[in-house]
């Protein structure tokens, strides 16, 4: 029997790699995203709209057992606290944090009734360390790490596990967008910045979305059934420095 997985933000980057890998491993995958994708069972969903998120997950829950939920939808924003407007701050938190809150709250009744479930939140190495010009993004990813830990404790009695994956610098469209924005502001050469980013990693390269997806698949599996409340770092050794 197929297991069922819901992924938010599964149409590009790490999310798309997760959707593809879970499909390859015989999961039924529901992809909740604002961008149409041919992979998985797509549901148009804006994670900042709590009612929309709740209604879609309730509809899926009425027909299927939700074995795995992956909160991946997110947005990046660069800036110090002074550079971050109230509107930008709210936008980052609505997508990165409120989106996860709404979806987890919606999947829990299904998982509780089945006394089983794996919840995985896409946090960041910035849940462990600070980076320059990353006030709102860093804060939001730290919040997701906290959400994983508190959820793990509150729902362990229902055999529901919650963990956060903390990627370092991963070569995704989000990464390229951030580099492009920086180069546009600073006039720097993108190839040089890309090479500098790779050189900052102890392994000498950027991570790939498929590598993060493999970690997520492991955390969703029975092989990780004694892992909960953890922050799983996948950063090429960056935070070990």
Q: How far is it, in rounded angstroms, from Cα 68 to Cα 106?
A: 13
Q: Please, which residues bridge with residue 126 across strands?
A: none
CA nearest to 118, candidates 86, 85, 151: 151
Q: How far is it, in rounded angstroms, from Cα 105 to Cα 160?
A: 13
- The yes-or-no answer on residue 137 being catalytic is yes
CA 20 to chain centre: 15
Among candidate residues 27, 137, 175, 238, the one labeled active-site is 137
Q: How far is it, in rounded angstroms, from Cα 16 to Cα 29?
A: 11
Helix axes 173-186, 190-200, angle to 10 degrees: 120
**Which of 179-183's residues contact partners 24+ apart within 8 Å by CB, and which partners?**
181/78, 182/78
Could you give the residue numbers annotated as active site?
137
């Amino acid at each position: 029997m197929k297991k069922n997985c819901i992924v938010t933000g599964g149409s590009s980057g790490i999310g798309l790699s997760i959707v593809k890998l879970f499909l390859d491993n015989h999961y039924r995958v529901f992809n909740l995203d604002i961008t149409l994708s041919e992979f998985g069972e797509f549901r148009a969903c804006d994670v900042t709209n709590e009612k929309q998120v709740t209604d879609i997950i309730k509809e899926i829950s009425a027909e299927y057992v939700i074995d795995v939920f992956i909160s991946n939808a997110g947005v990046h924003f660069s800036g110090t606290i002074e550079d971050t407007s109230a509107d930008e701050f709210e936008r980052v938190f609505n997508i990165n944090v409120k989106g996860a809150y709404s979806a987890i709250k919606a999947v829990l009744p299904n998982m509780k009734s089945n006394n089983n479930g794996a919840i995985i939140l896409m946090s960041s190495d910035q849940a462990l360390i600070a980076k320059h010009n990353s006030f709102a993004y860093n804060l939001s990813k730290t919040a997701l790490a906290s959400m994983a830990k508190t959820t793990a404790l509150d729902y362990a009695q229902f055999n529901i596990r919650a963990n956060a994956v903390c990627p370092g610098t991963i070569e995704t469209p989000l990464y390229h967008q951030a580099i492009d924005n920086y180069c546009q502001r600073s006039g720097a050469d993108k190839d040089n910045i890309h090479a500098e980013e790779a050189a900052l990693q102890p392994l000498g390269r950027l991570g790939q979305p498929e590598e993060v997806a493999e970690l997520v698949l492991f955390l969703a599996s029975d092989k990780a059934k004694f892992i909960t409340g953890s922050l799983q770092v996948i950063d090429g050794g960056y935070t070990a420095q």
